[in-house]
Amino acid sequence: MTRPLSVAVAGLGTVGAGVLKVLRENADLIAARAGRPVVVTAVSARDRSRDRGVPVAGLRWYDDPVGLAGDPGVDVVVEAIGGSEGPARALAEATIAAGKSLVTANKALLAIHGAALAAAAEERGVSLAFEAAVAGGIPAIKAVREGLAGNRISRVAGILNGTCNYILTQMREHGREFADVLGDAQKLGYAEADPSFDVDGIDAAHKLAILAALAFGRPVAFDSVYVEGIRRVSALDIGFAGELGYRIKLLGIARQTEAGIETRVHPCMVPESAPIARVDGVFNAVVAEGNFVGRVMLEGRGAGEGPTASAVVADLIDLARGRVTPVWGAAASALSSAPSVPMSAHVGAYYLRLMVVDRPGVIADVTAILRDEGISLESMLQRGRSPGEAVPVVLVTHETRESAMTAALARIAGLGAVMEAPAIIRIEVG
């Protein structure tokens, strides 16, 4: 029989324990597809005594995960520790330096250090595999890097964070405010005790940076991603979005333009008819547009033990078969050096909601500012009359430049009749 692929797993939390379960429960199927058995022989975790729902007896145990990299009986290391620094980074660097392939589900590590890790892996002639790092069980990495390899990709976008999608779905379906739904999401385990990485858009930005590198054949550039979360989305805005025929989603969008590559994460209004608008709850979706294939959309669970472990095991099967693909789809010497486009250069349509004192002349003052900044209006909504009190006014613009919108907002916010900071949401095709 062909020698088994010997795997070490660092981190036995949700993902690491899930990998052990998949490899054991589907061992025969995996061996047939990999051409040889894939077995875990060594592990590392902080607490030896904890019950993880999967037996670890008989496996070599390392208190220091970096020790896995030097184990002569290990062929591949799975990093399931998490975080961009500390033990996860040390293990990744040590594994590659030792001439061993690395499989990781760690989007933060790849977004921040992926360029250096990819260069080191190419120099050492080993694989850096990360299907599980973006959209969990959805095969987004393979689809963009390999399935669409014959296409010039113009745009890749998606719902990349299930926590945010769940919160926005609940707000829309039940008319509740962000803070209330977040509390429920934490009780249900959909959101962490500190939800900042999710609701402030950072998790989605990590994933988008990786997708953009794959789509456009450029080293990962997390620092270039514009990031805005969902804390300021209100039930009022979600209600107005419905009236206008839109749904609000937190999207990650990467786009090739004449000036370079635009990467941004922020709440978007997308038409209710767009397929991505109907992706609700904790589900994720990834959309890619190629010059020959057209638009492709993948949808599924973006997190959780089963989906994420499934993606890790898919990478292990590739390694067992000897299937090797350059990290960003091409050798380092062939990667693009296209510049990043700043958010101020973005051009698109906008939803603007103001809370203004209901008195004559207010709308004229607002529209004069928009006119001065070269912004034209497509439509306006105002519900009811309450003389002397604050009322919402919604304006939808035609396409304009972000820098013009930013300048207009600063002036509008300074008007005496505007009672709170203007709410702005960008409009996308989906």
Q: Percentage of the chain surpassing pLDDT 90?
A: 80
How far apart are alpha carbons 329 and 331 in whole angstroms?
7
**Is residue 44 scored above 70 in pLDDT?**
yes
207 among known catalytic residues: yes
Options 100, 107, 142, 207, the catalytic residue? 207
Q: What is the pLDDT of residue 385?
A: 66
Q: What is the pLDDT of residue 353?
A: 96
- DSSP-assigned states of every residue in 282-321: TEEEEEEEETTTEEEEEEEE-SSHHHHHHHHHHHHHHHHH
How far apart are alpha carbons 135 and 207 in whole angstroms?
8
Q: What is the pLDDT of residue 129?
A: 95
Domains and CATH numbers, the chain: 5-133 (3.40.50.720), 140-301 (3.30.360.10), 346-427 (3.30.70.260)
Q: What is the pLDDT of residue 384?
A: 63
Q: 421 and 413 in contact (C-beta within 8 Å)? A: yes
**Is residue 54 scored above 90 in pLDDT?**
no
The confidence band for 60, taking pLDDT boundaries of 50, 70 and 90, is: very high
Q: What is the pLDDT of residue 55?
A: 83
Segment 183-201 shows an average pLDDT of 88
Mean pLDDT, rounded, of the chain? 93
How far apart are alpha carbons 404 and 344 in whole angstroms?
8
* pLDDT tens by residue, 132-177: 999 888 999 999 999 999 999 999 999 999 999 999 999 999 999 9
Inter-helix orientation angle 27-34/305-321, to 10°: 40
Q: What is the pLDDT of residue 79?
A: 97
Inter-helix orientation angle 107-124/86-97, to 10°: 20
- DSSP-assigned states of every residue in 343-397: GGG-EEEEEEEEEEEB-TTHHHHHHHHHHHTT--EEEEEE----BTSEEEEEEEE
Residue 382, sorted as left (phi over 0), alpha (psi -120 to 50) or beta, turns out to be: beta
User: Pairing mode, if any, of strands 260-271 and 423-427?
Assistant: parallel
**Is residue 382 scored above 90 in pLDDT?**
no
> In sequence order, what are the residues at sequence separation of 6 or more whose Cβ sits closer than 8 angstroms to the Cβ of residue 99?
124, 125, 126
**For residue 302, what are the CA distances in angstroms to 135, 162, 397?**
4, 6, 33
How far apart are alpha carbons 235 and 242 in whole angstroms?
11
* pLDDT tens by residue, 276-334: 999 999 899 999 999 999 999 999 987 788 889 999 999 999 999 999 889 998 888 88
The confidence band for 237, taking pLDDT boundaries of 50, 70 and 90, is: very high
**Is residue 386 scored above 80 in pLDDT?**
no
Q: What is the pLDDT of residue 185?
A: 87
Tokens of 1: 């029989």
The confidence band for 77, taking pLDDT boundaries of 50, 70 and 90, is: very high
